[in-house]
């Protein structure tokens, strides 16, 4: 069957949330008239799914409320475009792993009861590879759960995909979840824990493996929910990260935006986001101790992926590595990494040096000259 080649859809990610959540988000952010049709269509789809969401609650509600995790969850919290997707995909090849699937992120309220038909339908229409980096896509594949969280409650930094004019504002007001009013924090924790449990039930795993760069400032919240959680921080050359994320964002905006991307959206916005995130990580490492975080340099990981995974399993006390090796090797042989190298734009060098030169040095990379 012919699959789509881009992310331009007539609806937005709002389609998978609830009408109530859409209204809450729209109280904080305003869609532009140009996108009203897309917004209305998304709202209509969310209304249609109210019944499916209710069915899910009736069938799965009790099991979710009584479920207990059997193994400590693992959280990959490296910044966007730092190798988190590859590391996540590899760790999720372990038969013990459970994860949030792509379908789950789109329809978090009814994934357990409706995946039997939603999965095949969406696999037929979405691209078989992400157009911006050629990573394979499938609705059953592991996905970053921030997209699910944005559909479960109103506060998410990924609201900037819908409202790009408010990019900096959203970073300043929705990135630090722990700074939200207490009722919103309680709601966030409730939805987060439920999402983790649903992920394990959906993928039939024992150990939840998360990839979400937006969890960097949420270490305390996650430890409140899962005191024995393991954290992995993978990092990469800051100049490459900022350049790559800039291109990534420009590729995603057209498919979901409810505001026009402003003409003054530049690499400066991305460098600022990177700087805030990395400062947040260094603060967490200072507060909780470096021993809590297993750090991986992406460039070293790429030289010996299996050997790096062995060290990771040993360091985090995760069992089952040898049994998982064949699955790791099969994934790597079937998914040769396609390098999508970007020439580092002088603006990227300028803004990274201006805002994050100390971070570049702290991570052990050389300062570039424009």
DSSP string, 174-241: HS-GGGS-HHHHHHHHHHHHHHHHHHHHHHT-SEEEEE-GGGGGGHHHHHHH-TT-EEEEEE--HHHH
pLDDT band at 370 (very low <50, low <70, confident <90, very high): confident
Mean pLDDT along residues 296-306? 97
pLDDT score of 88: 98
How crowded is the C-beta side of 320, counted as CA atoms within 13 Å?
A: 14
**pLDDT tens per residue, range 250-290:** 999 998 999 999 999 999 999 999 999 999 999 999 999 99
CA pair distance 13, 3, nearest whole angstrom: 19
pLDDT score of 138: 87
pLDDT score of 335: 83
pLDDT score of 93: 98
CB 209 within 8 A of CB 76: yes
Q: What are phi and psi of 133, to 5 degrees?
A: -150, 5
Question: Crossing angle, helix 182-203 and helix 36-66, to 10 degrees?
Answer: 70
pLDDT score of 143: 96
> Hey, which residues does 207 pair with through a beta bridge?
97
54 has pLDDT over 60: yes
pLDDT score of 4: 38
Residue among 290, 310, 311, 152 at smallest CA distance from 219: 290
pLDDT score of 1: 29
Question: Which residues touch 80 (CB under 8 Å, ≥6 apart)?
Answer: 213, 241, 245, 248
CA pair distance 76, 274, nearest whole angstrom: 16
pLDDT band at 2 (very low <50, low <70, confident <90, very high): very low
CA pair distance 97, 84, nearest whole angstrom: 16
Share of the chain above pLDDT 70, in %: 94
pLDDT score of 3: 36
Take residue 330 and report the two structure tokens written for it: 């099969």
- Cβ count near 210 (within 10 Å): 27
* Inter-residue long-range contacts of 113-119, CB under 8 Å, 24+ positions, other chains counted: 113/52, 113/55, 113/56, 113/59, 113/60, 114/52, 114/55, 114/56, 115/202
**pLDDT tens per residue, range 70-86:** 999 999 999 999 999 99
3-state SS assignment for residue 317: coil
Q: Please work out, in degrees rounded to the nearest 5, the angle formed at the alpha carbon of residue 339 by the alpha carbons of 333 and 343.
A: 170
The DSSP secondary-structure symbol of 101 reads B
pLDDT score of 339: 61
Take residue 226 and report the two structure tokens written for it: 């899962």
């Amino acid at each position: 069957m012919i699959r789509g080649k881009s992310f331009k859809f007539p609806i937005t990610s709002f389609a998978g949330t609830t009408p109530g959540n859409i209204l809450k988000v729209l109280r904080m952010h305003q869609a532009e008239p140009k996108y009203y049709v897309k917004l209305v269509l998304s709202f209509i789809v969310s209304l249609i799914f109210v019944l499916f969401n209710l069915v899910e609650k009736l069938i799965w509600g009790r099991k979710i409320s009584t479920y207990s995790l059997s193994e400590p969850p693992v959280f990959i919290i490296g910044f966007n475009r730092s190798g988190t997707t590859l590391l996540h995909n590899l760790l999720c090849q372990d038969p013990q792993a459970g994860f949030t699937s792509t379908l789950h992120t789109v329809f978090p309220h009814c994934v357990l009861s409706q995946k039997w038909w939603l999965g095949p339908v969406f696999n037929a229409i979405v691209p078989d590879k992400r157009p911006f980096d050629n990573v394979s896509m499938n609705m059953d594949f592991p996905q970053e759960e921030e997209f699910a969280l944005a559909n479960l409650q109103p506060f998410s930094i990924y609201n900037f995909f819908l409202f790009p004019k408010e990019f900096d504002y959203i970073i300043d007001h929705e990135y630090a979840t722990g700074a939200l009013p207490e009722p919103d924090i309680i709601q966030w924790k409730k939805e987060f824990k439920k999402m983790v449990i649903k992920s394990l039930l959906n993928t039939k795993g024992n150990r939840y493996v998360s990839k979400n760069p937006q969890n960097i400032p949420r270490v305390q919240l996650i430890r409140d929910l899962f005191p024995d959680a393991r954290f992995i921080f993978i990092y990469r050359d800051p100049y490459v990260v900022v350049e790559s994320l800039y291109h990534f964002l420009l590729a995603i905006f057209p498919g979901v935006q409810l505001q026009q991307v402003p003409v003054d959206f530049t690499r400066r916005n991305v460098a600022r986001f990177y700087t805030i995130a990395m400062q947040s990580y260094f603060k967490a490492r200072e507060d909780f101790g470096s021993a809590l975080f297993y750090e991986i340099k992406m460039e070293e990981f790429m030289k010996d992926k299996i050997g790096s995974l062995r060290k990771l399993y040993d360091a985090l006390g995760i069992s089952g590595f040898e049994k998982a090796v064949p699955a790791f090797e099969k994934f790597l042989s079937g998914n040769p990494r396609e390098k999508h190298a970007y020439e580092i734009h002088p603006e990227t060098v300028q803004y990274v040096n201006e805002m994050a030169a100390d971070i570049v040095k702290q991570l052990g990379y050389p300062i570039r000259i424009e």
